[in-house]
Structures are given as C-alpha cells and as structure tokens.
A and B are shown apart, each in its own frame.
Chain A
Amino acid sequence: MSIRGLFTPITKIRRQVFEEIARFAYERDLKSDDFYYFYESPYRIIPGEVAKYRDSVFKERTIIRERIRLAMGLPLRPTTSYQNLTDGMKECASSKKQLELPLVTVIPFACEACKPDHFKVTNNCKKCLAHPCTSVCPVNAVSIGKDSAIIDSEKCIKCGRCREACPYGAIIRSGRPCAEACGAKAIESDELGRAKINQDKCVACGLCIVSCPFAAIADKSEILQLITAIRSGEKVYAIIAPSFVGQFGPLATPGKIISGIRELGMDYVMEVSYGADIGSIHEAEEFMEHVPDEKPFLGTSCCPAWASFAKATLPDYAYCIADTNTPMVATAVKIKEHDPNAKVVFIGPCIAKKIEATYEDVAPYVDYVITYEELMGIFSAKGVELTELEESEFDVEASADGRNYAVSGGVANAVINTVKNRDPQREVPVMKAETLAECRKMLLLAKAGKATGHLLEGMACSGGCVGGPGTLSAIPRASKDVKAFADKSNFKTADDNIYLNIKK
C-alpha cells in the first residue's frame, strides 16, 4: 500500500507552505528586504504546543523552516553549523530564474531511516511446532529463536517463501516507501541509515516526494520568482499542461481556470496541447523516416523523466529517443518567437519539468515551472475564487489528440494518427510503459531486439501525466475530465489543427 493519491496531513502541510510563500510574495514591499514573515510562518502552519505528528512541535517547526527554504528555491541549511533561516532570501526574492540542482532532496532529520527492503517476523509468530518457515527456506536463513522465528537478513534472498508458508501471516515484507516509488533506483543511505538520493541516478520524477509517509523529501519551487515577475510588471505568459482539466475542483471548469490565471496577472494563457500537436507531427515524421532502418525503434520524448532515464539506461540507444521538442518547449518557443521579452511559466503536474527547464537549450524559452498544487496555493493566497469567475477560452486551440497526451496511451495514439494521415498503409506497432520500473523492463526488451520497428511510449507516472506528483485530482477522475475536454476540440488530430501554420 502507498499513501500516494490520499489526502494526508503531509499533503496539507506541503500545500500550506506553498500558500504561505505565495501570500508573502503578493503582500511584501518589493523594495524591502524584510523576511521577518518567515520567522512566524512555522507557528502559523504548526499552531499550539502539542506535537501532532512528531515527537515535538519544535522539530515539526524546524522541518517547516527547511521546507520553506526549499519552496523559495534555496538549499537546505547545514545541520552541523549555524545558518540564519533568512540567509539567501534577499537574492532569491527576485524575478530572476535561479533554480539550482539538486532539485529533489531529503531533509535528513525528517527522515525516519526506514530499513531497506527486508522480510521480518512480526509478533504474530507463535513459534509453532510445524514452523514451515524454516523448511521452505532455500538458503537456511530462517531459524527458531527463543520467542519466535528469526530471519537472518544476511542470508535472506527475499524469495518470500517463508511468508507464504506461515499459517499465521506473521511474516511481512517491509521497506522504504521512497525506494519503492523510485523506478530509477536512486535511493541510497547515508551513514546514519537515512535515505539519500543519488543525484546521478535521480531523474526528478518526484514520486518519492509524494510517497514518503514522514514528509522527509521535498523539491524546490519557483512560486516566489514567478509572483515577483508578475508584480514587477513583466509580461508573463502561462502555458498549461494537457492534464490541467479538473485539477482545481469539480466546479472549476477549464474556462474558469483560464480566467483564474488571468486574474493572477498573467497576460496570456495557452494550452501546451498545442505544442503536443507540433510534437505529434514531428515524431510521426521522424518515425516514418528513420524506423527501423536508422533507428530500430523510436521512444517518445515528451516525458522528461522517461527520456533521461531511457538515455541513461541504454546509452547506446540514446539516439532512438525522439529529438522532438517536448510539448512544453514547442509551446514556449512559439511564444518567444512572437514576444522575445516575455516570461513563460509552465504549469503542470510534473516535477521533472523543473529540471528540463534548466537544460541549456530549454532555459531560454521556459522561465519558470510550477505545479498545479503550487498554483492552487497561489490562487488561495490571492483569494481567487475559481467557482465565481466567468468562463474564458483559449485563443489558440489544440486537437483532441494533443489534449489526450495527459493520459497514458494518448501520445502513442496521437503519433499513430498523424502517421496514418500521411501513409494509411504504414503500421505502427506500439509498446508502452507507465512508471520507471515498467519502463526499465520495456527498455530491456528493446535492447534484446524485441522492439524493432516499434514506437515506445514511456511515462514515469502511473496513468500518465494525470498521475503526476504535482496534481490535486485522483487519477480516474482526472483521466475522465481530460478525455471530456479533448472531445470538445474542433480538431481530431494534429494535422487538423488550423492554428499550427498561422503566424500569431
């Protein structure tokens, strides 16, 4: 079981931190360097003096302080020497993009140091006469101790036979929720047994953040820089990912969401599904031209966590991942061609997009990346009541296929349709995988030559982008909402989209 997809005290605290920073960003005097506000923040978020979640309110508040620093885009403070809470805030409270890696980090003293994956005998063990746990173990790792069965973890190969054999269900498998969520196998341990992220392996899918039951992992945010840009009078364009539909409440229709973003002071709102349409055509052409002769298979490029994971896992086949601009980049490029001085913020479900926006070839186009959860914190801080707003529309529409990029299978389907538009006879066999663990299996098949001629759709999140770590809506509800909005488009495939060739 996992806490993923449930609303827990952790979700609440995370969102309160976003709201807290957004409120500061809107209320502060832009010319002032006063950050006293943040000394009080932990007391607003953790009121009273009775600890609710951990051993003391003092520890709870100290963790909040680190979360605040991260959410402002700052690094954690060292635990072994003194540093003021507000150090560095002056520099980061500007509209300048400054996200520095690592993006996803463990707050070490919030980590419970859960023991890595292991089998364990619980107190349900009755030390029974039959003790089948010992006789089924192929490596002699289970013995009967004074009070119960004992598993020698040095010998144990985690086959699970003892667990299956126990008539009392006394043997369980337990591990680290963060490591179980991490398909890239990037979770390691520090010298105190706490989780530590191997940044060389981490692709910032962000699933550990929403899977840790102790809220010990967090990423950095650009809420403060975005709001400062808006308040400083910069022209800010919002581009919103295809999975946005239904994320802000069942009554916040796409039209009301567009109005809400404008209410925040952003001049223009565009759907990233438009960039998806550009990508579908490019990827279809790349597929028709190069697969299978020059490239044995073609991997989709839109999910940055999948794309960088695939390139790291199979470096010899890195050229088989499409070199198409991701929908985010394609949309941002279009805007900057039209208005080079604009600032572009990508609003999406994704944490890996924050890393993508730091790539050398992407950074000039995408200035900030924020998640739906962060945007909701901004709406709440600014008092934007979505349910009370009038409906607006996107000026430039995307096709149904582009809008369906948000749901697993949607990308492959869009590429197939654009291939068929060009050559109805051309077959496009597809393999697809959700979660990086599944993507790894798909890549191994590709390496073994079993994906020749295929289009490989990879998604780091379960369900596709609608399952991203920065979402608010449950996956089944979100998938349904995305499809309903896609059906409203006037264009079926990317080729039908009349806006693609019009110069704005």
Chain B
Amino acid sequence: MAKKIVVEVCTGTHCVLMGSMHMMDSIASLAEIREEMGSTTEIEVKAVPCLNLCKSGTRGPFVIVDGKTIPQAEADVVMAEIMSHCNDECSNCDC
C-alpha cells in the first residue's frame, strides 16, 4: 500500500516573508524526482495558518514533515527529510 507523507508549511506572515511560498514550490517539485526514483510514497503539501512558533523568537519558516517540526527551514534540509521518508519505502523492496 502506498505510503503518504504530509508536509505542513506555515504560511503566516513571518514565514511567508522568510520564503515559505518558495518552500512549497520546492516540495511540489519533488513529485517528479520521486517518480524517477520509483518511490510510490505520496507527498501531500499543505499550507497552514500561522503556527505561532515564531513568537518565541526562533526564525521561520517552519515546516512540519510527518509530525517533525523543522525551524528556520531551508529547502535543501526539508527536501532531504522528505526524500529520506521516500527511501524508507524503497528499502523494503529490491530497488
């Protein structure tokens, strides 16, 4: 059965200023690579309202990958995290 990863991207004011719209575009671009890798894991990207995580002083953008919060998220870190989930799926098969 195909696995699904839910990625929530905070699109509150501070996070959008710090690039969360581009973050969503980067995550969406993973769909093509995932296919090339033969992974069946589905990636669902959700824009969520302000998570109120920036109010403590930590900088955004905040991204939650399958329940794991990444502060000051940069596209490369987030994409690697998502891809590692896709690889989990692959390690069960022969590819």
Cβ B49 vs Cβ A388 within 8 A: yes
User: When chains A and B are docked, how far (Å) is the Cα of A252 from the Cα of B20?
Assistant: 13
Given contacts A12-B19, A15-B18, A251-B47, is CB(A386)–CB(B24) below 8 Å?
no
Let me know if B75 is at the binding interface, CB within 8 A. Answer: yes
Given contacts A387-B49, A387-B50, A388-B49, is CB(A474)–CB(B21) below 8 Å?
yes
User: When chains A and B are docked, how far (Å) is the Cα of A377 from the Cα of B19?
Assistant: 12
Chain B 9-27 interface mask (CB, 8 Å, partner A; 1/0): 0011111111111111100
Cβ A12 vs Cβ B20 within 8 A: no
Tell me the smallest distance from the CB of B39 to a CB of chain A, in Å.
25
Cβ B13 vs Cβ A379 within 8 A: yes
Query: B21's contact among A250, A384, A385, by CB below 8 Å, is which?
Result: A250
Chain A 1-34 interface mask (CB, 8 Å, partner B; 1/0): 0000011000110010001000000000000000
Let me know if A98 is at the binding interface, CB within 8 A. Answer: no
Cβ A248 vs Cβ B16 within 8 A: yes
B20 proximity list for chain A (CB < 8 A):
249
Interface residues of B in 28-67 (CB under 8 A from A): 47-50
Cβ B17 vs Cβ A7 within 8 A: no
Let me know if A473 is at the binding interface, CB within 8 A. Answer: yes
Let me know if A376 is at the binding interface, CB within 8 A. Answer: yes
Cβ A6 vs Cβ B17 within 8 A: no
Given contacts A249-B47, A388-B49, is CB(A473)–CB(B17) below 8 Å?
no
User: When chains A and B are docked, how far (Å) is the Cα of A379 from the Cα of B17?
Assistant: 9
Q: Determine the residue in chain A with the shortest Cβ distance to B18.
A: A12
Cβ A377 vs Cβ B17 within 8 A: yes
Q: Determine the residue in chain A with the shortest Cβ distance to B49.
A: A387
User: When chains A and B are docked, how far (Å) is the Cα of A47 from the Cα of B49?
Assistant: 28
| Chain B residue total in the interface (Cβ 8 A) | 20
Q: Determine the residue in chain B with the shortest Cβ distance to A379.
A: B13
Cβ A474 vs Cβ B13 within 8 A: no
User: When chains A and B are docked, how far (Å) is the Cα of A387 from the Cα of B50?
Assistant: 7
Tell me the smallest distance from the CB of A43 to a CB of chain B, in Å.
15
Cβ B16 vs Cβ A252 within 8 A: yes
Cβ A7 vs Cβ B23 within 8 A: yes
Given contacts A251-B49, A385-B50, A388-B50, is CB(A472)–CB(B12) below 8 Å?
no
Query: A376's contact among B13, B47, B50, B75, by CB below 8 Å, is which?
Result: B13
User: When chains A and B are docked, how far (Å) is the Cα of A12 from the Cα of B75?
Assistant: 13
Give the interface residue-count category, chain A.
Answer: 20 to 34
A441 proximity list for chain B (CB < 8 A):
none
User: When chains A and B are docked, how far (Å) is the Cα of A504 from the Cα of B11?
Assistant: 37
Let me know if A480 is at the binding interface, CB within 8 A. Answer: no
Query: B14's contact among A6, A11, A380, A473, by CB below 8 Å, is which?
Result: A380
Q: Determine the residue in chain A with the shortest Cβ distance to B21.
A: A473
A473 proximity list for chain B (CB < 8 A):
21
User: When chains A and B are docked, how far (Å) is the Cα of A341 from the Cα of B13?
Assistant: 32
User: When chains A and B are docked, how far (Å) is the Cα of A11 from the Cα of B13?
Assistant: 16
User: When chains A and B are docked, how far (Å) is the Cα of A250 from the Cα of B11?
Assistant: 7
A155 proximity list for chain B (CB < 8 A):
none
Given contacts A249-B20, A385-B50, A387-B49, is CB(A7)–CB(B75) below 8 Å?
yes
Query: A380's contact among B11, B17, B19, B75, by CB below 8 Å, is which?
Result: B17
Let me know if A422 is at the binding interface, CB within 8 A. Answer: no
User: When chains A and B are docked, how far (Å) is the Cα of A299 from the Cα of B10?
Assistant: 43
Cβ A251 vs Cβ B11 within 8 A: yes
Cβ B22 vs Cβ A376 within 8 A: no
Query: A385's contact among B12, B22, B48, by CB below 8 Å, is which?
Result: B12
A249 proximity list for chain B (CB < 8 A):
11-13, 15-16, 20-21, 47
Let me know if A96 is at the binding interface, CB within 8 A. Answer: no
Cβ B21 vs Cβ A387 within 8 A: no
Q: Determine the residue in chain A with the shortest Cβ distance to B61.
A: A7
Tell me the smallest distance from the CB of B75 to a CB of chain A, in Å.
7
Query: A19's contact among B11, B17, B47, B49, by CB below 8 Å, is which?
Result: B17
Query: A250's contact among B19, B47, B50, B75, by CB below 8 Å, is which?
Result: B47
A7 proximity list for chain B (CB < 8 A):
19, 22-23, 75
Given contacts A249-B47, A474-B25, is CB(A385)–CB(B13) below 8 Å?
yes
Q: Determine the residue in chain A with the shortest Cβ distance to B55.
A: A383
Query: A474's contact among B14, B17, B22, by CB below 8 Å, is which?
Result: B22
A477 proximity list for chain B (CB < 8 A):
21, 25
Given contacts A7-B75, A250-B47, is CB(A386)–CB(B13) below 8 Å?
yes
User: When chains A and B are docked, how far (Å) is the Cα of A248 from the Cα of B12?
Assistant: 9
With A249-B13, A474-B22, A477-B21 given, name 20 new contacts (CB 8 A).
A7-B19, A11-B19, A11-B22, A12-B19, A15-B17, A248-B16, A249-B12, A250-B24, A251-B11, A252-B16, A376-B13, A376-B16, A376-B17, A380-B13, A385-B12, A387-B11, A387-B12, A387-B49, A472-B21, A477-B25
8 contacts between A and B (CB under 8 A): A248-B13, A249-B16, A251-B48, A376-B16, A387-B13, A472-B16, A477-B21, A477-B25
